[in-house]
DNA sequence: ATAATACATGTAAATGTTGACATGTTTCAA
DNA sequence: TTGAAACATGTCAACATTTACATGTATTAT
């Protein structure tokens, strides 16, 4: 399916970037729905260059540090536009290790259950706070009134991430509540 | 991390099973948070057997069809119990191809955006209905009053899946709403 | 009867992903 | 000035996962 291909193509289409910049983007903005390590990005950039979907220009930064700034080609833009309109079946539900543990709840006693769920809750609440701060920052600095814009894209995926985390937290609290009230 | 190892160990711990049974479980019950193909399961079963975490007994079904019914060992139970109590950092957010498309919303025009989001909404609504039916069935046939039971494990992960799908739908509707109201 | 479907178990090649290895430059703060 | 952090690019081995290949039995509906 080459999904990384389209993630990279989409980012470079927004503006020319280096492999390092892409890595940073995968850690920040896209972090709420996509991720890739630099060890996967550099080989993919090489491949996309060979396929003539992107090209690069070597730029010297400072005295001798070489950067490869990648730009999307017309062919790349066409493939990207073609991919974005495709209608694909729903992906299989993503894996969730915490839910795997929760599923086998019968292996824990009451205190252990409460400990595991509380720890997960704390982590998720922390993450939600980070996402909310990012949203505050976004609303302060960007204009999202135009629906056909990068800014609106940034906004909706961040909004989706916040809603997802909030729901996960609600679920954890509901579980904790039932367990706490149980007699066993 | 060997996560499949623990998924299999947990299932076999619930009751002895064949590789085929495990595959079916990954398609049904665990489908809402884990998945594995039989081509991954059979080699893993072999490995777990070599590690003495499970053992199998060959059972003849009918005239000559051989089944390998796997049972967890004491060592396997110990490892499983040990894993379930571990405190691990939050996994990176799972990948979401639809959100990747949504992020690059600037590549579509208004009609295309509405088409893509509506199609996704229809698929998610269908999936939610299936999950709700599964919940109705579960509540009808199983007793979830004991928190330390397989039934309660089944219940909470299904509940989590329903909440997640509902939130995804809410997000899609919100996005569609903003786009529909936009002038562009 | 027979054909489709479900049951049952495997392997091999390709692809996707992570973690470790490997190297060097530039900037910024103490 | 020097050391840490950020910038910058790559490879390789191991592990995870999917798709295709490969084979055969038992049950159920027509």
* pLDDT at residue A183 tops 90: no
Q: A94 pLDDT exceeds 90?
A: yes
Confidence of residue B16 (pLDDT cuts 50, 70, 90): very high
Return the pLDDT at B43.
98
Provide the number of CB pairs (under 8 Å) joining chain A to chain B: 217
pLDDT averaged over every residue in chain B: 97
With H, G, I as helix, E, B as strand and everything else as coil, classify residue B124.
helix
Q: What is the DSSP string of A42-61?
A: HHHHHHHHHTTSEEEEEEEE
What does the pLDDT read at residue B19? 98
- Domains of chain A by residue range: 3-84, 97-181
Tens digit of each residue's pLDDT (9 = 90 or more) over B91-119:
999 999 999 999 999 999 999 999 999 99
Predicted local distance difference test score (pLDDT) of residue A184:
60
pLDDT tens digits, A33-91: 999 999 999 999 999 999 999 999 999 999 999 999 999 999 999 999 999 999 999 99
Q: How many helices (H) and strands (E) does chain A have?
A: 7, 2
| pLDDT category of residue A29 using cuts at 50, 70 and 90 | confident
Q: What is the DSSP string of B62-119?
A: TTTEEEEEEEE-HHHHHHHHHHHT---PPPPPPP-HHHHHHHTGGGS-HHHHHHHHHH
Q: Which of A175, A109, A97, A167 is nearest to B152 (CA)?
A: A175
Assess A150–B contact: CB distance below 8 Å, yes or no. Answer: yes
A108–B84 C-beta distance less than 8 A: yes
Mean pLDDT of chain A: 97
pLDDT at A100 over 90: yes
- Phi/psi of residue B58, nearest 5 degrees: -85, 125
Interchain proximity B171–A184, CB inside 8 Å: no
CATH class name, domain B3-84? mainly alpha
Task: Tell me what pLDDT residue B59 has.
Answer: 98
Question: For chain A, what percent of residues have pLDDT higher than 70?
Answer: 99
Res. B183 pLDDT band, cuts 50 70 90: confident
Is A65 within 7 A of strand D by CB distance? yes
pLDDT at site B12 = 98
B63 touches strand D (CB under 7 A): yes
């Amino acid at each position: 399916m080459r999904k990384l291909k389209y993630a990279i193509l989409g980012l470079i289409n927004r503006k020319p970037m280096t492999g390092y910049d892409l890595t940073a983007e995968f850690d920040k903005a896209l972090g709420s729905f996509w991720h890739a390590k630099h060890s996967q990005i550099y080989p993919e950039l090489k491949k996309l260059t060979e396929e003539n979907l992107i090209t690069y220009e070597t730029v010297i930064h400072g005295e001798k540090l070489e950067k490869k700034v990648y730009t999307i080609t017309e062919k790349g833009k066409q493939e990207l536009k073609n991919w974005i309109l495709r209608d694909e079946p729903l992906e299989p539900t993503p894996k969730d290790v915490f839910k795997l543990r929760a599923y086998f709840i019968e292996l824990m006693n009451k205190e252990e259950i409460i400990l595991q769920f509380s720890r997960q809750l704390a982590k998720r609440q922390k993450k939600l706070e980070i996402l909310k701060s990012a949203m505050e920052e976004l609303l302060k600095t960007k204009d999202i009134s135009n629906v056909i814009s990068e800014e609106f894209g940034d906004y909706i995926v961040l909004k989706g991430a916040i809603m997802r985390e909030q729901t996960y937290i609600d679920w954890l609290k509901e579980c904790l509540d039932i367990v706490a009230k149980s007699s066993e």
